[in-house]
Amino acid sequence: MHRRFTSFLILVLPMAALLNGCASERPILYNITPQFTVHDPQFAQTMGHLLGPQLVGENTVTTLTNGDQIFPAMLDAIHSAQKTITFETYIYWSGKMGQAFADALAERARAGVKVYALIDWVGGDRIDPKYVKEMTDAGCQVKRYHPFHILLPATWFDLDHRTHRKILVIDGTIGFTGGVGIADDWMGNAQDSKHWRDTHYRIEGPVVSQLQAVFDDNWMQTTGEVLQGNDFFPELHAKGKQWAQVFKSSFTGGSENMQLLFLLSIAAAGSDIRIENAYFVPDELTIRSLTAAAKRGVHVTIIVPGAHIDEKEVRQASRAHWGKLLKAGIEIWEYHPTMFHCKLLIVDDLWVSIGSSNMDNRSFRVNDEANINVLDADFAAEQIREFEADKKRSRQVTYDQWARRPLGEKIGDHFFTAFGWEL
């Protein structure tokens, strides 16, 4: 979330958190004993049957690095649409990109394409109303996810429950997901502090139908309309050799499954775990899982944002947890050139999880999230090259450096941890 909402949320979030807390169950303390690695066929069986849906083969997931690659690919795909466009995002702000996407979606709607856009009410609060009017006038269906109305108490319960998913599906055949929002901050190539570092992914093959189903889930929750038929779920043919699954979580339907996905992946590591995460605020269960992996000889490396971060409080809450990780031999690197917004997990050079989910309590227990998991050595190798390139632009934090940080920082770190900072 961004600072424009801070004063408002200070007033209403305690009420929302209380209401959500009354409605939610106690967090599950998973107990996972490592039994196999990601190379064992049982791992794919477990991820398909225990979490679901099943991994499907014959896909191609293409890596798009930073706005210079991401936005042209997404806009080109939108312009190619012939039947349907389904689009869900957390961030949609005014600016060049906001206008470009509004223009592209409106143009396709005028051409007869059925366009469905779902924009989070909080994340999309900076959208220029003229964009929404342009799209709706052209025939797009544009809905806001969980809008808040002070005079409608029923909306208070959902105030803290946001969709953090980033989904674009074209004609049911081409999909996109990752970490990027629709805002000018993501433009460029992470060349300076004003242009964020992020990764998005273009998806083709049978797994696209799973991504479409994730969009449909929130569209049904919002409108009651069921999107079905060949325009949304056409027969999908082989587009590559990668095995993949799209995994979703939601506050109303198994939000903690996202944490279970990460914990199962960590438990199945035999040699290496690489993590990139924009808002890395691990709870005690995640810390125990990572330190246990390190103690059994797994090399764990984590890249997080440095001084350039849009929410300083999140960085402070994150740093409060680093002591146990660093003592266990886990490497932590801070990315310094600009805001680091990537969300990536690579296990044993084979298993990759990418998408919208951070490693914090908001992603694990509150937000609607969606990740695509890929089981493929070549794809993992490509992500490792991206990871190593990011590490070259980062600085390692040692335990001694962490322990010697100023007293004021230590107090702030623990304050935001105790406060349960989730913004």
* pLDDT tens, residue by residue, 301-322: 999 999 999 988 888 889 999 9
Which of 296, 297, 207, 300 lies closest to 262 in space, CA to CA? Answer: 300
Is 114 a catalytic site residue?
A: no
The whole-number pLDDT of residue 257 equals: 84
CB 331 within 8 A of CB 395: no
Q: Give dist(CA 17, CA 244) in Å, integer.
A: 35
Q: 36-80: per-residue pLDDT in tens?
A: 999 999 999 999 999 889 999 999 999 999 999 999 999 999 999
Is 341 a catalytic site residue?
A: yes
Is 348 a catalytic site residue?
A: yes
Is 166 a catalytic site residue?
A: yes
Q: Give dist(CA 2, CA 196) in Å, integer.
A: 15
The half-sphere exposure of 122 on its side-chain side, counting CA atoms within 13 A, is: 21
Residue 42's identity, in one-letter code, is Q
The single residue of 146, 164, 308, 321 carrying the catalytic annotation is 164
The single residue of 39, 308, 341, 413 carrying the catalytic annotation is 341
Long-range contacts of 69-76 (CB under 8 A, 24+ apart): 70/178, 70/180, 70/186, 70/198, 70/199, 70/200, 71/97, 71/100, 71/180, 71/186, 71/187, 73/176, 73/200, 73/202, 74/101, 74/168, 74/176, 74/200, 75/100, 75/101, 75/104
Q: Give dist(CA 279, CA 258) in Å, integer.
A: 15
The single residue of 198, 308, 343, 368 carrying the catalytic annotation is 343
Low-confidence stretches of the chain (pLDDT beneath 70):
1-26, 252-256, 408, 410-423
The whole-number pLDDT of residue 383 equals: 98
The whole-number pLDDT of residue 7 equals: 39
Distances (CA, A) of 91 to 88, 144, 184: 9, 12, 11
The whole-number pLDDT of residue 159 equals: 84
Distances (CA, A) of 134 to 78, 98, 127: 16, 12, 12
The whole-number pLDDT of residue 312 equals: 86
The single residue of 39, 161, 166, 200 carrying the catalytic annotation is 166
Q: Give dist(CA 284, CA 289) in Å, integer.
A: 9
Which of 264, 286, 417, 271 lies closest to 358 in space, CA to CA? Answer: 286
The single residue of 160, 185, 217, 348 carrying the catalytic annotation is 348
Q: Give dist(CA 173, CA 202) in Å, integer.
A: 11
Q: Give dist(CA 207, CA 244) in Å, integer.
A: 6
Q: Global pTM? A: 0.92
The whole-number pLDDT of residue 254 equals: 53
The half-sphere exposure of 299 on its side-chain side, counting CA atoms within 13 A, is: 4
The single residue of 171, 185, 360, 413 carrying the catalytic annotation is 171
The whole-number pLDDT of residue 313 equals: 86
The whole-number pLDDT of residue 6 equals: 42
